[in-house]
Amino acid sequence: MPPARPSPTTASGAASPALSGIRVLELGQLIAAPVAARILADFGADVIKVEPPGSGDPLRTWGAGDGLWWRYQSRGKRLITADLRQQAGRDLVRGLVAHCDVVVENFRTGRLTAWGLGDEALRLVRPDLVIVHVSGYGQTGPYRDRPGFGNIAESMGGLRYITGDPDGPPMRVGVSLGDEIAALHAVIGVLLGLRARPETVDVALTESVFSVLENTLAEYRHLGIVRERTGNTLLNAAPSGVYETADGRWLAIGGNGDSIFRRLCHAIGRDDLGSDPGLADNRGRMARVDALNQVLSEWVGDHTVDEAMAILAVAEVPAGPVYSIADIAADPQFQARDMIVDVDGFSMPGIVPALSSHPGGIGWAGAALGAHNAEVYGQLLGIGRDELAALARKGVI
C-alpha cells in the first residue's frame, strides 16, 4: 500500500502529526461529515474527498464571497471527482477503499447500500475498515429513511426549544451548531474505531444535539419540569449573564461560584450582598437571581467595557466582552494561540486542540473541483492521464 501523503506541521522540526499514516475517504457534502474529515486532515490524516463531477459539493457556493467557506472546510484535503451514480464511478471508489483506513459518509441512510457500497461490500475490499455514517436520525429506527439537516436536528433534538427569549419563538444560533456537534461525535467515533477496528460508527444529528442538553431529561422524568426559553438567564447557577456597558457594548460575567460571588460583590462595592447568609450558596442566589442581575446591570451600565474588565480582572472574576468576528480577529489572545491563520491567501480559524508533541498542520486551502484527480488516481490506482481523460469525457470523474 502506498504511504499516506504527509501533511506539513505547524512547527519546523516537530514530530509527525498524530494521524499521519491514516487515510480517510470522505463521501460527504455540506457540513457534518466534511467538518469531521477536515478535523482529521488537520491532524495529519490523508483525507481524500470525493465530489460529483460538474457540480461538486454544494458548499462551494454557500456563504459570502467566492468560496470562502469552502477554502476553510476543505483545507488539507485531496479533492477528486467520481460519479457514484455510474458503475464506473463506484468502481473507482471501491478501488480507493482498499487503500483507506476510514470511510466517512453522510448520504441518506441506505443510499450507499443501494449503490453497492454498503458496509459489507466495502469490508470485502478492506476488512479492517472503520465506517462512519452521519445522518439525520441514524441507521436504525422508524425515522431512519427521512432526510435530515442540522436545522431539523437542532429542532427535534430540543436545542431550539430552549433557545430564545421567554416570550419569543424558538431561535437558532448563528452557526450550523447541530452539524458541528455531530462532526465532533464523528471524529470521536473515528478515533475509537481505529482503536478497535473494524468498526461501524453511527452518528445521528438529532442524538448529537440531544446529548448536549445537560440535565433537561432528568428534570422532566424525575421532577416533571419542561425547561423553557429563558433568554440570557442561566437556570442552574447565579449570577451569570450578559450586561450592557456604558459604551454600548456587552459584557459577560460569571459570578456563580460561592467564593467568586463574594469577590464580585467586593469588586462592585456591594459587600453587603457578599456577606448576606441568604446568598452564600447557589440555591439562595437562584432564588434572588432577578435582583442580582439588576444590581449587575446597573453597575456594568456605569462603566465602559474596559473599565469593568479591569476591575473584574483584579478581583479574579470570570468576565469577557461579547465579541464580533472583528473583535476576535484583533484579539491578542487568539493571535498568540495561532487561531487566526492565513493559508494560500485565505484567512481561517486555526487548529483545535493544540497538541504539544504531535501538532497538527494546515497543508493548503480548499482547491478546485477535481484538483487532485491525477495525483490520487495515479498514485493509488495506477490510472494514467489518458485513461483519466477518457473517464472525464464520459462524465465518470
Marked catalytic residue, from 42, 46, 179, 271: 179
Residue 167 known to be catalytic: no
CA angle 347, 349, 350 (to 5 degrees): 115
Name the phi and psi angles at 50, rounded to 5. -100, 125
Q: Nearest CA to 101 among 151, 31, 45?
A: 45
Q: DSSP characters for 298-357?
A: HHHHTS-HHHHHHHHHHTT--EEE---HHHHHH-HHHHHTT-EEEETTEEEE--SS--SS
CB contact at 8 A, 315 and 266 = yes
Contacts of 291 (CB under 8 A, 6+ apart): none
Residue 362: name the closest of 25, 43, 30, 5 by CA.
Answer: 43
Cell of 245: 456597558
**Residue 331 to residues 244, 327, 336: CA-CA distances in angstroms?**
20, 6, 9
The identity of residue 248, as a single letter, is G
Distance between CA atoms of residues 106 and 32, nearest Å: 7
Instruction: Show which residues are catalytic.
Output: 179
